[in-house]
Structures are given as structure tokens and as C-alpha cells.
């Protein structure tokens, strides 16, 4: 007993079905060639074995029963995806760091005419001019203006630093909200993946979506996705689960219990989230007491304080018109010093210039004050050049991180992205496979025609 005549018809029909499934997947790939996060798919075909011989007189095994689509595969590599997420965490951190330094450089405007160092030089020059024309209201007015422009520059720069600090705090809060909403989405998608998978559906597009959310979370928190066998993903931040199955935990901006520095904490339990990287860790570092903004504020305060102290130390030894000594030129009226440096003298003709016993037109006190700026200026330019080096380092770090991000991304895309030429070749192949199966169908049809319509016509 041979194979059933209709066996081959079935085989051909299975071939047709497989080819058209492959064409459908090619269509899906081509349609999504430009979709961000899409991972190319392919039909995994499996040959069907022949019918198991049974009965009393089993025949030798016949041809197989054709082909079936066993699964629709997804060309994703967990290793490459992990590398991309890791690189995203790094570059997220570096981006924030580099931006913070760049912001401080914008405020410093060094070297330049509208900078603190220029204002300090101008202030001391004005004392020199006043020493040349002691008691002259013109020179005195110029001196008061130079002093005002210095205190104004210092306090307005400091205000900008404070604005930058609060902008970073606002950014931090916004990003924490973003993390929380992404975590919710990931938990939700986990649920959908689980139920779709259990019902036997294809979860490929859902997994793409899952990976997309995980990448955003990694860029923010430096955390990692740990995929489970059923396609759901656990997202870990600092070793603890932000998302586990269908449960999402929340982060919240907080303060360190001992230092009071800003941190990102867990909402559901005490303690810092211990971020490994990402832009949130960058912001926490920028906002810390050792961060660039706090350091800049410290430098501005120290400079303001030093100018006041240096000027006043000499100024107090000078003698006023009424013969009194111990006067002050500047006063630091509160904290922070940079914003509270005020000029005590209002009358330009009453600025003290003479030493005790120096004569009415003595300018030696004014001259002495004019020489007190060198150290302050030296400290300042040392600080500025330090900021320059740190900013340079931050930029180099960012370039490095962006470089490794794009290289990780290239490897990932090499695996996952759709190639139009490849799909065109596949399309031709599948089209031919379809045509060939159709030809088999025609052949069987002709065979049957011969058998049924042409056989046994003798004598009719």
C-alpha cells in the first residue's frame, strides 16, 4: 500500500501556507524597518515527518507530511541588550555631569571682560586712582562704582548658581516621576506578556516594548533588566527590584539622614535606592556637598569674604576727616557672604585714604588697599582653571560614554535591525517557494486528471 493520493496535496498546501506566513513576516519586517526598538522576526520552519507506519503489513516509510511554522523567532540578543542598557546608564550620568560643569562655565564667563576677576582688578585699580587724588569726589565716586560693580557681579553670579541648583532639584524630581511611571508601564506589560504567552500568542512586539521601557529606565537609573523565561522582566536598581513581575515599586526624592544631602530613596521602605548610574545618579552627585555647584558657591563666598576682610583690615587703620579710625568699607551682613557683601561708605568724598599722621592729602591707605588683591585673584584664577580641567574631564567622560553607547547600540542593531536588501532577497525566495508549492499542486491535479478522466477509456 502506497501513500494516499491526497497526501501530496496536503504537503503542497502546507508549503503554500508556510510560504505565505514567511511573506507576511517579511511584510511586517519591511513595514517596521524604521520603527525604533523593533526587532526583526523570522519564521522558524519545521519539517513534518511522514506518517508512522502501522498495521499488519507496514510499508517502508513514505515522504514527510510537509512543513509547519513552529514559531516566529525574534533576533534579539540578551547580552547585547544588556550592554546597551549599561552604556545608557553611563552616558546618562556623564551627560548630567558635563552639563552641570558647562552651566558653571557659563556663569563664570572667564576669561572675559564681564567676569569676577576683571571686576576685582577694576576695584583695586580704582583704589589706586583714589590714592592719586585723595578725597577727590570724582575719584571717590569711581571707586564706589567699581566696588558696587564687584559686589553686584559676585551676588548676581551667586544667584545664578542658586538658580542652577534649584533647576537640578526640579529635574531630579521630574525624572523620579518619569521612573515611577515607566516602572508602572513595565509592570503592566509584564502582565500582558504573561497572559498572551499563556494563551499561546506571539509576544514579540510586547518584548520589543518591554526592552524599550527598560532602556529608558536604565538611562535614568543605571539599573538592569533581568528577563525571566516567560518573557516578563524584573528591573533591578542598586540590587533591589524596582519592578518585579506585575509589581512596581516607587522612588522618591529624599535627603540623607546624616548629611542632609539630596538622595533618591525608596517610597516603600527606608533608605537610599543606591543608584549605580544614570542621569538620576548624576543629579545626586551634582547636588551633593562635594558637587560642582556647592564648590562654586563656596568659592564665591570665600572670595567675597576675602575681599571684605582684606579691604577692611587696612581701611580700619586709616583716619577719617574727624580724626577717628576703625571704620569699615565693606560689611558682610549675612549668609551667604557672596549675596550679602554691602558697601558701608555712601559719601564718595568721605572715603578714607590717609594713614594716621599722614597729612590731609595722604593716599597711603588707599594705595595699600589697592595692593591687597593679588592673592584673591590668584586663588580665583586657580579655581577657574580647576573648573576648566574638571569640565574638560567631564566632557571627555561624556564622549567616551557616548562612544561606547553607540558602539553597543551598533552591535545590538547589527543583530536586531531590519535590512531592506535582505528582506527583498527573502521576499523573492518566499515568492518562489510559494510558486513551487503551487506547481506541486498543479502536478498532483494533473495526475488525478489523468487517473480519473483518462484511465479506463478503452472500448467506451
Partner 1 sequence: MTMINRVTSSMTTAATRANLQDSAKTLAELQNKAASRQAISRPSDDPAGTRTAMAARAEIARNTQYERNLNNADLWLQSADTALQSGLDIMVRVQELALSGNNGTLSQAARDASATEVEQLRKELLSLANTQVLGRNVFAGTSAADFAYMDGAPPTWNGSPDASVQRRISDTTTIQVDVSGVDAFGADTETSASVFTVFSDLASGLRTGTDLSGSIGALESSRQQMSDALTASGARHATVGRTLEAVRTQLTELEATRMSTEEADLAETAVELQMQQLNYQAALAVSAQALQTSLLDYLR
Residues paired with 234 in a beta bridge: 226
Q: Which one of residues 10, 13, 28, 118 is an interface residue with partner 1 (CB under 8 A)?
A: 118
Site size for partner 1 (CB under 8 A): 64
Q: Is 220 in the site for partner 1 (CB under 8 A)?
A: no
**Residue 420, preceding bond cis, omega within 30 degrees?**
no
CA dist., res. 139 & res. 130, Å (int): 5
Applying the rule CB under 8 A, the residues between 302 and 361 that interact with partner 1 are 354, 357-361
Q: Max alpha carbon distance in the chain (Å)?
A: 154
**Residue 228, preceding bond cis, omega within 30 degrees?**
no
Shortest reach from residue 58's CB to partner 1, in Å: 47
DSSP H stretches of helix in 45-136: 78-108, 116-132
CA dist., res. 156 & res. 37, Å (int): 46
For 358, the grid coordinates are: 599722614
Applying the rule CB under 8 A, the residues between 221 and 280 that interact with partner 1 are none
Shortest reach from residue 283's CB to partner 1, in Å: 20
Q: Is 384 in the site for partner 1 (CB under 8 A)?
A: yes
Q: Is 381 in the site for partner 1 (CB under 8 A)?
A: yes
Interaction mask 4-43, partner 1, x per CB under 8 A:
-----------------------------xx---------
Q: Is 219 in the site for partner 1 (CB under 8 A)?
A: no
Which residue, among 422, 423, 424, 437, has the nearest Cα to 67 in the 3D structure? 437
- Residue 408: which H helix or E strand, with range? helix 373-416
Interaction mask 413-442, partner 1, x per CB under 8 A:
xxx-xxxxxx-xx--x--------------
Q: Which one of residues 53, 58, 111, 326 is an interface residue with partner 1 (CB under 8 A)?
A: 111
Applying the rule CB under 8 A, the residues between 129 and 168 that interact with partner 1 are 129, 131-133, 135
Shortest reach from residue 26's CB to partner 1, in Å: 13
Unique residue bearing C-alpha cell 508512522: 52
Shortest reach from residue 7's CB to partner 1, in Å: 36
Shorter beta-carbon distance to partner 1: residue 129 or 171: 129
Region of 292 on the Ramachandran plot (φ > 0 left; ψ -120 to 50 alpha; else beta): alpha
Contact residues for 283 (Cβ-Cβ < 8 A; gap 6+): 96, 168, 171, 172, 175, 262
Q: Which one of residues 163, 374, 435, 442 is an interface residue with partner 1 (CB under 8 A)?
A: 374
Coil/strand/helix, residue 69: strand
CA angle 167, 283, 98 (to 5 degrees): 90
Q: Which one of residues 45, 302, 345, 377 is an interface residue with partner 1 (CB under 8 A)?
A: 377
* Residues in touch with partner 1 (CB under 8 A): 33-34, 101-102, 105-106, 108, 110-111, 117-118, 121-122, 124-125, 128-129, 131-133, 135, 354, 357-364, 367, 370-371, 374, 377, 380-382, 384-389, 391-392, 395, 406-408, 410-411, 413-415, 417-422, 424-425, 428
Amino acid at each position: 500500500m502506497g501513500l494516499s493520493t491526497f497526501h501530496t496535496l496536503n504537503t503542497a498546501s502546507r508549503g503554500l501556507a508556510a510560504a505565505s506566513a514567511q511573506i507576511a513576516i517579511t511584510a511586517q519586517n519591511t513595514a517596521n524597518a524604521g520603527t525604533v526598538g523593533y526587532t526583526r522576526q523570522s519564521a522558524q520552519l519545521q519539517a513534518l515527518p511522514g506518517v508512522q507506519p502501522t498495521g499488519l503489513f507496514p510499508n517502508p516509510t513514505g515522504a514527510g507530511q510537509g512543513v509547519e511554522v513552529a514559531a516566529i523567532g525574534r533576533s534579539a540578543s540578551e547580552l547585547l541588550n544588556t550592554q546597551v542598557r549599561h552604556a545608557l546608564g553611563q552616558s546618562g550620568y556623564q551627560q548630567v555631569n558635563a552639563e552641570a560643569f558647562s552651566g558653571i562655565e557659563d556663569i563664570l564667563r572667564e576669561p572675559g571682560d564681564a567676569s569676577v576677576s576683571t571686576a576685582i582688578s577694576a576695584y583695586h585699580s580704582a583704589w589706586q586712582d583714589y590714592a592719586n587724588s585723595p578725597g577727590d569726589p570724582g575719584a571717590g565716586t569711581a571707586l564706589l562704582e567699581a566696588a558696587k560693580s564687584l559686589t553686584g557681579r559676585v551676588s548676581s553670579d551667586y544667584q545664578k548658581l542658586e538658580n542652577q541648583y534649584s533647576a537640578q532639584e526640579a529635574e531630579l524630581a521630574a525624572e523620579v516621576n518619569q521612573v515611577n511611571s515607566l516602572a508602572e508601564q513595565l509592570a503592566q506589560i509584564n502582565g500582558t506578556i504573561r497572559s498572551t504567552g499563556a494563551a499561546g500568542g506571539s509576544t514579540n512586539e510586547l518584548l520589543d516594548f518591554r526592552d524599550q521601557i527598560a532602556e529608558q529606565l536604565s538611562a535614568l537609573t543605571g539599573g538592569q533588566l533581568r528577563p525571566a523565561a516567560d518573557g516578563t522582566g524584573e528591573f533591578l536598581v542598586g540590587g533591589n527590584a524596582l519592578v518585579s513581575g506585575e509589581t512596581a515599586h516607587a522612588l522618591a526624592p529624599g535627603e540623607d539622614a546624616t548629611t542632609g544631602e539630596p538622595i533618591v530613596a525608596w517610597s516603600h521602605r527606608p533608605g537610599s535606592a543606591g543608584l549605580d548610574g544614570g542621569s538620576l545618579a548624576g543629579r545626586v552627585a551634582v547636588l551633593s556637598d562635594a558637587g560642582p555647584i556647592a564648590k562654586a558657591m563656596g568659592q564665591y563666598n570665600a572670595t567675597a569674604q576675602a575681599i571684605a576682610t582684606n579691604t577692611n583690615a587696612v581701611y580700619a587703620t586709616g583716619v577719617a576727616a574727624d580724626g577717628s579710625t576703625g571704620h569699615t568699607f565693606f560689611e558682610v551682613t549675612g549668609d551667604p557672604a557672596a549675596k550679602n557683601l554691602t558697601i558701608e561708605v555712601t559719601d564718595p568724598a568721605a572715603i578714607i585714604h590717609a594713614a594716621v599722621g599722614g597729612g590731609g592729602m595722604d593716599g597711603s591707605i588707599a594705595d595699600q588697599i589697592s595692593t591687597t588683591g593679588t592673592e584673591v585673584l590668584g586663588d580665583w584664577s586657580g579655581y577657574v582653571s580647576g573648573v576648566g580641567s574638571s569640565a574638560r574631564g567631564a566632557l571627555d567622560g561624556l564622549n567616551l560614554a557616548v562612544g561606547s553607547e553607540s558602539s553597543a547600540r551598533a552591535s545590538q542593531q547589527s543583530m536586531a535591525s531590519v535590512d531592506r536588501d535582505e528582506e527583498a532577497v527573502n521576499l523573492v525566495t518566499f515568492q518562489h517557494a510559494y510558486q513551487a508549492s503551487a506547481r506541486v499542486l498543479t502536478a498532483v491535479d494533473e495526475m488525478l486528471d489523468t487517473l480519473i478522466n483518462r484511465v479506463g477509456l478503452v472500448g467506451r
